[in-house]
Amino acid sequence: MTITPELHNSRFMKAARCEATDCTPVWIMRQAGRYLPEYMAVRSKTTFIDLCKTPELAAEVTLTAREVLGVDAAILFADLLPILQPMGFDLEYVKGEGPVIHNPLLEASQIDRVKPVEDVSVLGYVFDAVKLIRKQLPADIPLLGFAGAPFTLASYAIEGGGSKSYIRTKTLMYTDEDAWKALMDRLVESLSRYLLAQIEAGCQAVQIFDSWAGCLSPSDYRRYVQPYTKKLIDSIPDETPVINFLTGNPALLPDQVAAGGQVVGIDWRIDFADARKIIGDNRAIQGNLDPISLYADLKTLEARAKDVLDANASHPGHIFNLGHGVHPDMNPDNVKALVKIVHELSAK
């Protein structure tokens, strides 16, 4: 995918390459979400999964959120899990309960049931949404694609839903490393095709969400997870920045960095300045305000945002974000205020 000069020189893309910008770019994880009345207006007419699968609606909520917040990047409205459907998992979004997989991988012996996605056109609605969004976005606003990281998707496929302790996932990992490897390889193969097709359709950068890897010890992450995340990131051409996001365990950071990604996404559990020391000067960092800061009064919110900005003041490679997604009961005015605060405080 060729990239226009406007996009190449956009705040987000420059910061991702650690080049100086007029002010720090900002976007908000889950920015097109339930806290926004504009989103709820669309969502009220359909189901969550139909919203994901209808390119016009997915495009609408993506574009509206970008515009009302005034953020420096749009992120495709989609979900982490639908890629599991063509891999053989029976995924359903149950009202009030969230996603459920009716046939989770309970035994290592079932691994041959899991098929890599050979032809990603079964997820064509995602790429159609990307095309629609790119067409309507301002010329200097990049569109981010995304996917779940192999570990996070493997956990979902094995647990069948959310989990507190990842008992089944870790038990399979510990007791049948061959089956684990087979599962992770098939996920990497599928996810790579999926992300490349998003880029081909018009995304300028992609984020990999390892939302659940924080439950792992560093040695388990190195042995069972990092090689697969690295293989996935290595499969993305260098000209498209990858945001390697992981939450829940700052002790994984050195190994997360070694897995790759021009941008390292971190949560609030680590001081930004310490993260910069570990990550070094050659990568951009995305993060890392505690999302609960948005519930405080504006003066406190500003002080907390300033702490994050100040911690990176001497380095151009910073994309401001929360350390995790914005909460559904958030007042959208506070999110808008945060975007303004970041732009104003960081203006050169």
Least gap, CB of 309 to a second copy (angstroms): 14
Residue 116, φ and ψ in degrees, nearest 5: -65, 150
Q: Nearest CA to 235 among 187, 279, 201, 277?
A: 187
249 touching a second copy, by CB under 8 A: yes
The β-bridge relationship of strands 242-246 and 74-75 is unpaired
**Is 103 within 8 Å of 156 (Cβ atoms)?**
no
Least gap, CB of 158 to a second copy (angstroms): 12
Q: Nearest CA to 148 among 194, 210, 87, 205?
A: 210
The β-bridge relationship of strands 205-210 and 91-94 is unpaired
Asked about 34 being catalytic, the answer comes back as yes
**Is 115 within 8 Å of 88 (Cβ atoms)?**
yes
β-pair partners for 210: 246
Report residue 134 CA to chain centroid gap. 18
Residues 266-295 that bind a second copy (CB under 8 A): 268-271, 274, 290-293, 295
Separation CA 273–CA 8 (nearest Å)? 28
If the CB atoms of residues 17 and 277 are measured against a second copy, the closer one turns out to be: 277
**Catalytic option among 35, 156, 166, 221:** 156
If the CB atoms of residues 327 and 340 are measured against a second copy, the closer one turns out to be: 327
**Catalytic option among 11, 30, 168, 283:** 30
Q: Which residue has the tokens 């401001």?
A: 320
Least gap, CB of 313 to a second copy (angstroms): 16
If the CB atoms of residues 5 and 96 are measured against a second copy, the closer one turns out to be: 96
Asked about 304 being catalytic, the answer comes back as no
307 touching a second copy, by CB under 8 A: yes
Asked about 156 being catalytic, the answer comes back as yes
2 touching a second copy, by CB under 8 A: no
In the structure encoding, which two tokens stand for residue 233, read together? Answer: 């990131």
If the CB atoms of residues 192 and 286 are measured against a second copy, the closer one turns out to be: 286
Asked about 79 being catalytic, the answer comes back as yes
If the CB atoms of residues 42 and 253 are measured against a second copy, the closer one turns out to be: 253
Asked about 166 being catalytic, the answer comes back as no
Residue count at the site for a second copy (CB under 8 A)? 33
Separation CA 311–CA 128 (nearest Å)? 39
Among 45, 297, 333, 348, binds a second copy (CB under 8 A): 297
Among 41, 122, 167, 313, binds a second copy (CB under 8 A): 167
Residues 168-187 that bind a second copy (CB under 8 A): 170-171, 174-175
Least gap, CB of 220 to a second copy (angstroms): 7
Residues of 209-233 as b/e, b for ≥16 C-beta within 10 angstroms? bbbbbbbbeeebbbebbbbbbbbbb
**Catalytic option among 11, 35, 39, 43:** 43
If the CB atoms of residues 2 and 165 are measured against a second copy, the closer one turns out to be: 165
Q: Nearest CA to 73 among 201, 198, 204, 195?
A: 204
Residue 34, φ and ψ in degrees, nearest 5: -65, -20
Separation CA 294–CA 335 (nearest Å)? 7
Least gap, CB of 17 to a second copy (angstroms): 27
Least gap, CB of 162 to a second copy (angstroms): 10
Residues 204-223 that bind a second copy (CB under 8 A): 214, 216-220
Separation CA 246–CA 260 (nearest Å)? 12
Which helix (H) or strand (E) segment holds residue 264: the answer is strand 263-265
Active site residues: 30, 34, 43, 79, 156
Could you list the residues that contact a second copy (CB under 8 A)? 165-167, 170-171, 174-175, 214, 216-220, 249-252, 268-271, 274, 290-293, 295-297, 300, 304, 307, 327
